[in-house]
Structure 1
Amino acid sequence: MLLQHYIKIAFRNLLKYKVQSIISIVGLAIGLICFTYGWNWYRYETSYDGFYPQASNIYRVYGIDKQTGKKVEQLPLILARKLKKDFPEVKETTQIYSKFGSTFHYGKTRLEDPDEEFIDEQYFHFFPRPVICGKKDDILKTLDEIALTRSFAVKYFKTPEEALGKTLRNGYREHITIVSVLEDAPKNSMMQTDVYELDKFDHERENRITEEMQWKQQSTIIYLMLEPTTNIQAFEKKINAYISEHDYNRSLRLKLARLTEVRHTFGSELTFNLSYIRTFTITGLLLLLCVFFNFTNLLLNRIYLRNKEMKLRNAIGADKKNMIFQLLLELTLLVWISFLLACCLLEITAGGFSRIFETTLQQDVLLSHLCIITGLSWLLLTGICLPLFLRFVRTPSLLVSGGIAPTRKSTFRKTSMTLQLGICIFFLMSTFIMSRQISFMKHKDLGFKKDGLIQLAMTFNDREGISREISTLAILKGFTQAGIFSITHEPQTQNEVEWDGKSLDFAPNFQVLQVGSNFPEVFDIPIVKGRFVDEADMISGHNPRFPCTKAVINEEAARIMNVGDPIGKKISVWDYSTYSDGTRGRAEMEIVGVIKDFQSASLRNPILPQVIVIDGSKWTSYAYYARTESGKEKAAIKAIRNVFKKHAKQGDPSTCEVQSINQILDQLSTSENASLQLFTLLAVFCTLISIFGLYSISSSNMEQRRKEIAVRKVMGASARTIVEMFFREYLAIVLIANLLALPLAWLFMQNWLQQYAYRSSVQPWMYIAIILFTTIIIICTVLYQTIRAARTNPAETIKSE
């Protein structure tokens, strides 16, 4: 009965102070849900492939190019052999070899080109997969065997059992037997492959070239299974010393990435990288802290408003323990209602969150983590509030004064309000800087005309028929091939570019583009000097991969080469071929022109030096670009898609990759736009929570201090003096909050801006704007209560007391 009585009182108090109760409940629910999403997203993204039995001991070896600082994913196969032989820390290695994908056929039926992985015999010992049917142990033993995933088997053979034993052929073998059908990889796995096959290409090449040449063949992804007791930092130093001592590869520094870290170590093309996800989690935590401060302030404010009630209870003999229990029960009730509201929000928003942020979050896991976070929040709030409750019950002076008064009794409230406002300012400043950077990116001159430009990827079989018909479409003003060039976060580069006068230890990364002769016209890029390459510069039989004897470079390449006038100079590049002895083929060309610099990747990258040649596969290229009038992109894309559908054959993909450049640039800036939306939303939440909380507290503060105001007025203080007194107190909080938050926001955003090669600067006026904005907000929030309190008749106040 006593508990029921306390619960009734708690509900009555929540209803009595309903505005403050609603602010507390809604604010805490939003804080809980935001941090739950951030924490779950971070845990999910850092658990990729963590379900394998030996995941904690599996590491991927990768290189860092000592000169350019770029990550090198593929390493020499001989490195794996050396590590296993000479380092006792290495229990076993497995390699994923170069991709040599090809078209598969079953009888006369053409299968869609699968995602094929060439592996070694140890692969499934590292990454075991449930076997639906077929061989379960030592799955692949010969070159004539392959393993399929369930989805690929069902797509073409209806059931896994029907696929088992079937014989296929591809571009390399006439007879390949399906010996196992594996379960599809979970969504949180990097191993999303349709077909697994043993490698023969890299092994055959390694067996016929010298050891010195083997160290130059960087074509293998290497995974190590280390002893559980291995110190990773010490092991890294050890293998780098080993490489240096034996002079195996001077250009590389080796690093290790834990299996669960691989996705984001090489995730440059991911829409949301780990840095963004960490930011999301940290901002969720900051919002939760802001809510904590507001929640505590409002709770204490309601308690101070009830001092007469507590005095009366104390006078009629209420036990202090019971009073503490009553206050804790009210705190618990608020947290419990917030949790229920957060559960409702979770149910409503979980699907949308997964779609927007391209991730997979399980409802049951989210709910369990929400319970844990809510429990921890309750413990933290109890730990903060309990000492204050005890002080409130035991100290008579606390029952007299309250609010933001210039006494030591309001120290906690001033501190918490300052920190809460500081978090609000942090989000406001971060949002301000972020919005300027995104605006800068959207309006930056890319060096070419992006409006009206369309990118196509020829993934269909009839490339020639499609590209010829598209080139005749009336809606298009221009059409050109571009080899494999597409605008991405991480452009394909090579550092094997040579020219006369180049120093031996200088190996900058160049972008080598193979394009059509009308490429500058389609992109609307001016020629700075000389001329552009054309089809007359191609010589049949000269070089199958680079049949062009002339080349064009961009301004950045001319600057890096530092040869004065580059026209007429010779330049050579790796032509992507490797001879039987391990040496690399080269293509030598004469520079005939310099083209204006243009942004060929996202703005996370600087403009790269470029060598541009004619693409020999005019009608069978992989990438094409089309030019239409600005505003007609949608109509042009529709016309191009109709051509794809007209020429579609069996085994072609269900969708054709046609997008405007503006769409591609929007996709490349998805994480930036999402960051801005996130920070804007959090800034709005924090601002509203702070305003409502401050309004409620200042209102009750004026009420509690009306006797003090009356006495000051009787002693001769004017209304203006009273207003100035209160404004000074609140302005001090605003200024201190700005002094704390603005430097932190600057540090945080400077780190965020470092990922961009081109970025906006933080100007002093931006700090002034934020300080003025927050000052105006606070003044407007407390202005009405302050003026009303200052104008109150002191005689009426003293009489009522």
Structure 2
Amino acid sequence: MIRSFFVLAIRNFKREFTYSAINVTGLAIGIACSLVILVYVFRELSYEKHFEGYNQVYRIGTKFMSMGEFANGPLVLLEVLPKSYPWIESTCRVKGSDRVELTYGELATKESGLFVEPTFFELFPYLFENGNGNISGNGIVLNAQLAKKIFDGINPIGKTLNLKLEDRDQLYTIKGVVDTENISSHLNASFWVLSDPLVQPDLNWFMIDQYNYIKVKENTDLATVQSALDKIIETEVFSSLGSTLPFEEWFKRDDSFRLIAQPLQDIYLKGTLRFDLTNGGNEAMVYLLLAVVLLILCTAAINFINLSTARSIKRRKEVGIKKVIGLSRCQLAIHFLSESILMSLLAMILALGFAELILLGVERFTGLELLNSIFSESSHLILALLLSISLGLLSGIYPALALSSFKPVDVLKSSFKGRTNATFRNSLVIFQFGLSTLLIIGTLVIFRQLQFMGDKDLGFQKDNVLIIDNAELLGQGVQVFKELLNDYPGIISTSLVNRVPAAANSFSMGSVSSQYIDEPLRINRFQGDFDYPTTLGFQLVLGRFYNPLLSSDSNAVILNESAVSALQLKNPIGELLNKKYEVIGVVKDFNYESLKKVIAPSMISFSNEGLSMAIRLESNKAKDIIAHLESEWIGRSLSEPIRFHFLDENFANLMKDDLIMGELLALLTLLAIFVAYLGLFGLSAYMATQRKKEIGIRKVLGASVGSVLALFGKEYSKLIFISFVIAIPFAIYIMQKWLSGFSYRVEVEGWLIVSTCLSILAISLLTVAYHSIRTSRINPAHTLRSD
């Protein structure tokens, strides 16, 4: 019987090809979007969860005075913490590295790795493709990609690599190979080597340099760990400060010092701490994408329901005859469900192709590689099958129950119009319009915020500034090189800098005090030579910049507005900080990190030993100047090629993830709206079919096409406005919640909401008008005759 049901389903599909094609297309888009995003979401949510005992591991970060929260922590912490709390099973320090040169024979490559303690692979049990994680002594573990790059199929175990470290060359013996390609972890690296041991740990708790991890015994919860850290602060840190305040009062202050316990599985998605090893994910965007996928699936299901209901009158005789010859309501329901499942399975085949196109489009336009291919893993195909069957059942239940409920005595009459649930049908229309309103407002607000971030005055001029990253290689000749560049046409100014805004190490931290505050203020410190403020184009509010003719300016500092406020300086020019640093200028607050973070008190100080060089150049001379730089660099026979980038790239990288997610959301929104309007097309077709005779009578009585169009437009406009009333408050609330994650943000503006509503109203009425005009042009002689 099941076979016959599917044969009949295929026959019906051919008979009603247009409606069936619309149904299959809507289902296919829903399945494709869901498949791509669900695989991506599962990957984002899986970070660290492949490690055995991951829920027992915590990273200890730092809330450092008023500077914010940092992923790294005090070096001394793991010397003290395990001695006081026996529920700590093991600990491990981790330190990141810049790109290190690895050499094997004649082959050399630069890679980023981690310097770790011997317990690393106990806390984080990676699966070894070859060898093991015993890195004691001079052992090194490579990831499989680097091993293949260097050894190309040769067994690397026991081979020796030379690492060019900051202060020495060091030989390491390869002990193991780990395949990290399918492992999601913030601790993935090209290599792992043993860090230098802390022979005499510095007891300065404010020396935060490495990442501290602890593994606790089972059933030890986050509250217990955090309580222990608070107690350590009281006994080890606060007691040494000599503060006159009670601990509880000091601890609540913004400028206090705290330790933060982060569960390992929260680091990637929920970790927004500074100086993290890697860029984290975006938890809010992940769940937003998940919500959009759910709405797309619901919309695709509603489309099927609407179109199936629209066709129900045409199938009334089929239902009546089948019931007369003995089919039960249950058998008819199974028959109609089999049709919906068959369509869903056909849609799945189409969806796999759509999914590949979506992946290609996302990678091409956003640069984000969600997956290599939807066919790369069998689990993706199983997920597609489950989605299609679930969507087929969800979509087919209501039409199946509705169609199978027809009574033969009624449906075999030529005057039968069918019973319809107007409330349910109108609810579906309101839902679809509300969904479209919500998605369009949300997408526009996101792009407004991204545009705002891109256009915002940062407090300095980031454009046309080139940074030479390895200028320290010039050694004693750096000043000569700097002066040579200053004389070259097209170069406006140059500066030796230690800290570049928006870089991974954009600032260092220090403490300053003034006569107007009781406790020292922790402050961000940017260092460069006398030309630093002018080269980066900071905006002067009070005072002056450095004067190279004044030797006293080597001890002078320039504050931002937030620092002036925090230090309570009413007349800052001429004030002494720490009794020796004279304030000579005040600049406008400038953004040196993501706009999600508040600008903190900052200070520009003099340093003539810059690690990098900033070059401000004329916009139309970049190509020529870069060629000149490379030529001059090669002529000095330095140990490595010149490395440079433009300063605006730093800020582009800060926004990269938000831009990608915004573009991905926009793509999904367009697809969701397309699917929603397929549903509207179906419902308007249904209403036009139901009211053919009514329209025919109106035409006989003299009604024009315009009056028929106004009749349908009025009914739909009412539903559209109801959907606006429901959706707009939700959209405003959700987007304000999202915008709250940014310290500097736009508002949900009225014009944006109005333009969205007008667009939806116009497109919807055009869709309805198509069916209204088409039906009203039919000769009444055809619509009023009996079937």
TM-score range, shorter chain: 0.7 to 0.9
DSSP-derived class of the 1:685 partner = helix
Which amino acid letter does the alignment assign opposite residue 203 of structure 1? V
Change in CA separation of 1:613 and 1:507 when aligned onto 2, cut-off 3 Å: closer
Q: Secondary structure at the match of 1:484?
A: coil
Q: Does 1:122 align with 2:133?
A: no
Instruction: Give SS of 1:395's match.
Output: coil
1:51-130 equivalences under 5 Å are 51-65=50-64, 67=66, 70-96=68-94, 115=112, 117-128=114-125
Normalised TM-score (structure 2): 0.84
| Map of 1:742 onto structure 2 | 728
Matches within 5 A, 1:272-421: 273-315=282-324, 317-350=326-359, 353=362, 356-358=367-369, 363=374, 367-383=378-394, 385-396=396-407, 409-421=421-433
1:227 aligns with 2:217: yes
With over 3 angstroms needed to count, the CA separation of the structure-2 counterparts of 1:589 and 1:602, relative to structure 1, is same
State, as a whole percentage, how many aligned pairs show the same letter.
23
Write the distance in 1 (CA, Å) between the matches of 2:506 and 2:384. 41
The answer to whether the Cα contact below 8 Å between 2:558 and 2:587 also exists between their aligned partners in 1 is yes
1:120-519 superposed matches below 5 A: 120-128=117-125, 136=132, 138-140=134-136, 142=137, 145-149=138-142, 161=156, 164=159, 178=173, 180-183=175-178, 185-186=180-181, 188-189=184-185, 190-200=187-197, 202-206=198-202, 213-232=203-222, 234-240=223-229, 242-243=231-232, 246=235, 248-249=237-238, 250=251, 251-264=256-269, 265-266=271-272, 270=279, 273-315=282-324, 317-350=326-359, 353=362, 356-358=367-369, 363=374, 367-383=378-394, 385-396=396-407, 409-458=421-470, 461-462=473-474, 464=477, 470-488=485-503, 491-494=506-509, 496-504=511-519, 507=521, 510-519=523-532
2:351 & 2:471 partners in 1: Cα distance?
A: 45
Distance 2:651 2:772 in 1: 51
C-alpha displacement at 1:553, in angstroms? 1.8
Deviations 1:521-572 (A, max 9, x none): 3334443333212445558xxxxxxx93111223332233221221111124
Task: Tell me the alpha carbon deviations over residues 128-172 of structure 1, each in whole angstroms, 9 at most, x when there is no partner.
Answer: 4566888x57531x5xx3425266677778866586467878566
Q: Does 1:673 align with 2:673?
A: no
Kept after mapping to 2: 8 A contact 1:534/1:614: no
What is the SS of the residue equivalent to 2:61? strand
Once residues 490 and 311 of structure 1 are traced to their aligned partners in structure 2, the CA distance between those partners, rounded to angstroms, is 76
Match in the other structure for 2:243: none
Distance 1:30 1:647 in 2: 59
Displacement, 1:603?
Answer: 2.8
Q: CA RMSD in A?
A: 4.0
Q: Greater CA deviation, 96-105 or 261-270? A: 96-105
Spell out, residue by residue over 1:628-662, the C-alpha distance to the aligned partner (whole angstroms, 9 max, x if none): 22344444445445555555655x36x8332262x
Distance 1:43 1:240, change over 3 A: same
Q: Is the 8 A contact 2:310 2:686 kept in 1?
A: yes
* Rounded Cα–Cα distance in structure 2 between residues aligned with 1:792 and 1:110: 79
Q: Which residue does the alignment assign to 2:244?
A: none
Give the corresponding residue for 1:657: 644
Counterpart Cα distance in 1 of 2:99 and 2:703: 87
3-state SS in 2 of match to 1:568: coil
Distance 1:294 1:641, change over 3 A: farther
Partner of 2:247: none
Residue 428 of structure 1 and its aligned partner are, at CA, apart by 0.8
CA contact (8 A) 2:35 2:355 kept: no
Partners in 1 of 2:689 and 2:170 — Cα distance? Answer: 89
Q: CA deviation at 1:698?
A: 1.1
| Residues 293, 365 of structure 1: alpha-carbon distance in 2 compared, 3 angstrom cutoff | farther
1:325 and 1:274 map into 2 onto residues whose CA distance is 41
1:782 to partner: Cα distance: 0.9
The one-letter amino acid of 1:729's match is E
What displacement does 1:77 show? 4.1
Distance in 2 between the 1:691 and 1:93 partners? Answer: 57
User: CA separation in 1, counterparts of 2:505 and 2:305?
Assistant: 47
Distance in 2 (alpha carbons) for counterparts of 1:410 and 1:745: 27
Contact 2:525-2:603 within 8 A present in 1 as well:
yes
Distance in 1 between the 2:107 and 2:167 partners?
15
**1:209 corresponds to:** none
Q: 1:413 to 1:479 in 2, by over 3 A?
A: same
Helix, strand or coil: the match of 2:582?
strand
Q: CA deviation at 1:339?
A: 0.8
CA distance in 2, matches of 1:102, 1:732: 66
- Structure 2 residue identity aligned to 1:324: A
Query: Taking structure 1 as reference, are residues 110 and 788 closer, same or farther at Cα in structure 2, changes over 3 Å only?
Result: closer
Question: How far does residue 331 in structure 1 lie from its aligned partner after superposition?
Answer: 0.6
In 1, Cα distance between equivalents of 2:410 and 2:673? 29
Match of 1:683 in 2: 669
Unaligned runs of 5+ in 1: 207-212, 540-546, 573-586
Alpha carbons of 1:507 and 1:636: their partners in 2 closer, same or farther (altered >3 Å)?
Answer: same
- Pick the aligned partner of 2:603 from 611, 622, 625: 611
Determine the C-alpha separation between the residues in 1 that align with 2:168 and 2:77: 29
The amino acid of 2:536's aligned partner reads: F
Seen in structure 2, the aligned counterparts of structure 1 residues 717 and 278 have a Cα distance that, compared at 3 Å, is same
Q: 1:513 to 1:358 in 2, by over 3 A?
A: farther
Return the alpha-carbon distance in structure 1 between the equivalents of residues 99 and 647 of structure 2: 28
Query: Which segment drifts farther, 359-368 or 217-226?
Result: 359-368
Which 10-residue stretch deviates more, 600-609 or 778-787? 600-609
Give the aligned residue type for 1:58. Answer: V
CA contact (8 A) 1:452 1:631 kept: no
Partner of 2:18: helix, strand, or coil? helix
- Retained in 1: the 8 A contact 2:128–2:179? no
Report the Cα distance in structure 2 between the residues aligned to 1:242 and 1:297, rounded to whole angstroms: 62
Partners of 1:647 and 1:163 in 2: CA distance: 38
Equivalence for 2:248: none
User: How do 1:502-651 and structure 2 match up within 5 A?
Assistant: 502-504=517-519, 507=521, 510-536=523-549, 548-572=554-578, 588-617=580-609, 621-644=610-633, 649=638
Q: Give the secondary structure class of the aligned counterpart of 1:62.
A: strand
Q: For residue 184 of structure 1, report the CA deviation from its aligned partner.
A: 5.8
Distance, in Å, in 1 between the alignment partners of 2:768 and 2:169 is 82
Give the Cα–Cα distance (whole angstroms) in 1 for the partners of residues 133 and 653 of structure 2. 43
Structure 1 residues 599-608 or 391-400, which shifts more? Answer: 391-400
Question: Deviation of residue 415 (structure 1)?
Answer: 1.8
What is the CA–CA distance in structure 2 between the aligned matches of 1:423 and 1:641, rounded to whole Å?
A: 55
1:354·1:360 contact (CA, 8 Å) conserved in 2? Answer: no
Size of the aligned set, in residue pairs, is: 754
**Given that residues 75 and 221 in structure 1 are in contact (C-alpha distance below 8 angstroms), is that contact kept between their aligned partners in structure 2?**
yes
CA distance in 2, matches of 1:365, 1:267: 34
Find the aligned partners of 2:133 and 2:452 in 1 and give their Cα distance: 56
* Structure 2 residue ranges without an equivalent (≥5): 239-250
User: What residue identity is the alignment partner of 1:386?
Assistant: I
Aligned residue identity for 1:89 = W
The 8 Å contact of residues 530 and 567 in structure 1, kept in 2 or not, is answered as: yes
For normalisation by structure 1, the TM-score amounts to: 0.82
- Compute the displacement of 1:796 (Å): 4.9
Correspondent of 2:686 among 694, 700, 706 = 700
Moved more, 271-280 or 640-649: 640-649
Provide Cα deviations, 1:48-74, integer angstroms capped at 9, x if missing partner.
343333333222122334755x22222
Is the Cα–Cα contact under 8 Å of residues 574 and 584 in structure 2 kept in the other structure?
A: yes
Distance 2:410 2:636 in 1: 83
Change in Cα spacing, 1:526 to 1:245, as seen in structure 2 (3 Å) is: closer
Which piece of structure 1 moves more, 769-778 or 471-480? 471-480
Distance in 1 (alpha carbons) for counterparts of 2:281 and 2:147: 32
